[in-house]
């Protein structure tokens, strides 16, 4: 079958279909309402919930930490204070990424060329990975906030060994995951464990499509 045959087949077939197709007459008002509900329903509830919790956490704990720093810096454990600061700072970074994601979602421009827009949409979904990577960096700070000076003065060797092992392994795990949580490792069990559920399917689809699009995007840059 040559090119002309293919085109003829396509045109003739579609001409026949055109006669039998009906366009549902829906008013613009109804369409717009439908669109809003569709958009809101497609927003993952977990993402909005996480954003809300994240904002409360950052502002609530952040406020307490600043108050403690100003009013009781010498009375609180510095291990606690700095661990909490790092933890809140990393959460704040994740919250900012969430806000950017949601804002981008509301401003998607369907006028753009297909490859460009689709790449933006895929990047949006893929940024879920970056949020996870940032949040994982919090791991070591959950093992240091309860440290205090008395622990170091009065602690026993087994305590130091245990504490050291926990902190070093959490630090190693956090750094390792930060660098390995990439699309290339999407088929690994630990990746699936971290990103299973509703966030998982779009990511897997994104990987397929990114692979399909790779050469187009490279070519666009030329």
Partner 1 sequence: MANHNLHQTFHEIIEQHKGLLFKVVRTYCENEEDRQDLIQEIRIQIWKSLPKYNANFAMTTWLYRISINVSISYYRKNSIRHQYAKAETLPTVTDAFPNDLQEKFNLLEKFIAELNEMDKALIMLYLEDKSYIEISEIMGISISNVGTKMGRIKEKLKKRFLNHKEN
In 137-222, where does DSSP find H-type helix? 149-154, 157-180, 189-194, 200-221
Closest CA to 61 of 86, 36, 32, 79: 86
Between 113 and 158, CB nearer to partner 1:
113
Between 25 and 153, CB nearer to partner 1:
25
Q: Does 10 bind partner 1 (CB under 8 A)?
A: yes
Q: Does 74 bind partner 1 (CB under 8 A)?
A: no
- The set of residues, in sequence order, having a beta carbon less than 8 Å from that of 134 and lying 6+ positions away, is 90, 93, 94, 97
Between 149 and 201, CB nearer to partner 1:
201
Q: Does 203 bind partner 1 (CB under 8 A)?
A: no
Q: Does 17 bind partner 1 (CB under 8 A)?
A: yes
CA–CA–CA angle 49, 210, 104 (5° rounding)? 40
Q: Does 222 bind partner 1 (CB under 8 A)?
A: yes
- The set of residues, in sequence order, having a beta carbon less than 8 Å from that of 149 and lying 6+ positions away, is 77
């040559």: which residue's tokens? 2
Between 127 and 148, CB nearer to partner 1:
127
Strand runs labelled E in the chain: none
In the complex, least distance from residue 214 CB atom to partner 1, rounded to whole angstroms: 11
In the complex, least distance from residue 181 CB atom to partner 1, rounded to whole angstroms: 22
Q: Does 28 bind partner 1 (CB under 8 A)?
A: yes
Residue 87 near residue 145, CB atoms below 8 Å: yes
**One symbol per residue from 157 to 196: x for binding partner 1 (CB under 8 A), - otherwise; what is it?**
----------------------------------------
**Residues 111 to 140 in contact with partner 1, rule: CB under 8 A:** 111-118, 121
Annotate 179-210 with b (16+ C-beta within 10 A) or e (fewer).
Answer: eebeeeebeeeebeebbeeebeebbeebbeeb
Q: Does 45 bind partner 1 (CB under 8 A)?
A: no
* Interacting residues with partner 1 (CB under 8 A): 1, 3, 6-7, 9-14, 16-21, 23-24, 26, 28, 31-32, 34-35, 38, 42, 109-118, 121, 201-202, 205, 208-209, 212-213, 215-216, 219-220, 222
């Amino acid at each position: 079958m040559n090119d002309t045959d293919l085109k003829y087949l396509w045109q003739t077939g579609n001409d026949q279909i055109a006669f039998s197709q009906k366009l549902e007459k829906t008013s613009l008002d109804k369409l717009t309402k439908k669109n809003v509900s569709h958009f809101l329903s497609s927003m993952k509830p977990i993402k909005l919930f996480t954003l809300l919790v994240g904002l409360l956490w950052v502002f609530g704990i952040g406020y307490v930490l600043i108050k403690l720093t100003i009013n009781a810096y010498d009375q609180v454990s510095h291990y606690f204070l700095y661990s909490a600061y790092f933890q809140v700072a990393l959460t704040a970074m994740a919250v900012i990424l969430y806000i950017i994601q949601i804002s981008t979602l509301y401003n998607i421009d369907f006028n753009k060329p297909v490859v460009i827009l689709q790449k933006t949409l895929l990047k949006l979904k893929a940024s879920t990975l970056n949020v996870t990577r940032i949040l994982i960096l919090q791991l070591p700070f959950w093992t240091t906030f309860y440290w205090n000076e008395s622990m170091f003065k009065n602690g026993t060797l087994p305590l130091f060994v245990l504490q050291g092992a926990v902190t070093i392994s959490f630090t190693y795990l956090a750094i390792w995951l930060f660098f390995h949580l990439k699309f290339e490792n999407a088929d690994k069990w630990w990746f699936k464990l971290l990103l299973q559920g509703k966030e998982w399917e779009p990511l897997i689809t994104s990987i397929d499509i990114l692979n399909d699009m790779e050469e187009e995007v490279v070519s666009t840059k030329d």
